[in-house]
Amino acid sequence: MPIEVLAFLNAPTAAPPHVVGAPAWSMVDVREPQLSALDLAATRGDGIFESISVGDGHPQALEPHLARFARSAAALDLPTPDLQAWRGAITAVIAALDPAAECWVKTVLTRGVEGDGRPTGWVYGSHSPDFSSARTDGVRVVFLDRGYRHDVAKTSPWLLQGAKTLSYAVNRSVLREAARRDADDVIFVSSDGFVLEGPTSTVLLRDGNTLLTPSPELGILEGTTQLSIFEWAAGEGFECRTALFGPGSVREADAAWLVSSVRLVAPVRAIDGTLKKVDAALTSRINTYLHAQRS
């Protein structure tokens, strides 16, 4: 069985036109071209995505991911994804993958070829990379200015802050800037000094018995994995809340993590070149919980 699988949806959204009588999805060869160079994904980054972890064959936090996928589609005025079709394609891709403890699937919905009016949708599945070093030893981060005020999602919704779009050139560029600064990852800061998120992760802090994450009103992605952690942590006796805070709060927190669906929880072990203490025990407890998630 393959370690990479790709399926294209016939009807990724509820809106017509669809090819009547066609199967809901088609498996395609990962090594062959599948996409038009005129697809707006490729020419304008005009689409949305989700990355979903698959633990022992089970997609994790699937419904929160699909709900966010639909919210991103609405933010971009894309037709509403047909979530039942996506669930089916995701299940089929996972079933076709060579079984492994850790896999992941990516769902992509694009505006399609310009002028066609027909969105393109696909599900890509693969074995996950080995993240054990990031999860155990941690990551070195730098703070970088995202350029936007903390309130642009409210004042200027056309900037699409809070939507998970395919226009990720900046999210990639900041990782190259981090590498130039001898770091592994980035925490974005608003132009007026609020901690936002990583380019592909949510920021999580521990202060004593409290777990903190930046408020979604900052125009950041609502972290599906962070939500799972809060659900679990509340049952473990932690106080969990969202807040507005600056870089100093991350530096001074008892522990800090970058949280994402596939890498899970990676402790921050250095900030702008200054070492930070890693909470190895809590990191391990959270990752064990996340990996065992079955829905």
Q: Are 289 and 234 in contact (CB under 8 A)?
A: no
Q: Should residue 106 be labelled a site residue for its own copies when binding is judged by CB under 8 A?
A: yes
Q: Is 169 left (phi over 0), alpha (psi -120 to 50) or beta?
A: alpha
Instruction: Please give the residues from 136 up to 175 whose contact with its own copies meets the rule CB under 8 A.
Output: 144-149, 152, 155-160, 165-174
The one among 42, 96, 227, 270 contacting its own copies by CB under 8 A: 42
Considering beta carbons, is residue 6 or 262 the nearer one to its own copies?
6
Interface pattern 236-275 for its own copies (x via CB under 8 A): ----------------------------------------
The one among 17, 21, 130, 176 contacting its own copies by CB under 8 A: 176
Interface pattern 70-89 for its own copies (x via CB under 8 A): ------xx------------
Give the Cα separation of 291 and 295 in Å (integer): 11
Q: Are 89 and 82 in contact (CB under 8 A)?
A: no
Give the Cα separation of 137 and 173 in Å (integer): 24
The one among 22, 38, 234, 280 contacting its own copies by CB under 8 A: 38
Task: Give which of 224, 204, 201, 196 is closest to 68, Cα–Cα.
Answer: 224
Adjacency order of strands within the sheet including 58-59: 25-28, 4-9, 120-127, 102-110, 47-55, 58-59
Pick the piece of the chain touching its own copies (CB under 8 A) from 12-20, 105-113, 240-248, 264-272: 105-113
Q: Should residue 26 be labelled a site residue for its own copies when binding is judged by CB under 8 A?
A: no
Q: Should residue 195 be labelled a site residue for its own copies when binding is judged by CB under 8 A?
A: no
Q: What are phi and psi of 213, to 5 degrees?
A: -140, 150
Q: Are 86 and 9 in contact (CB under 8 A)?
A: yes
Q: Please work out, in degrees rounded to the nearest 5, the angle formed at the alpha carbon of residue 185 by the alpha carbons of 183 and 189.
A: 110
Q: Should residue 19 be labelled a site residue for its own copies when binding is judged by CB under 8 A?
A: no
The one among 9, 46, 92, 134 contacting its own copies by CB under 8 A: 46
Q: Which residues bind its own copies (CB under 8 A)?
A: 6, 8, 30, 32-47, 49, 76-77, 106, 108, 110, 122, 124, 144-149, 152, 155-160, 165-174, 176-177, 191
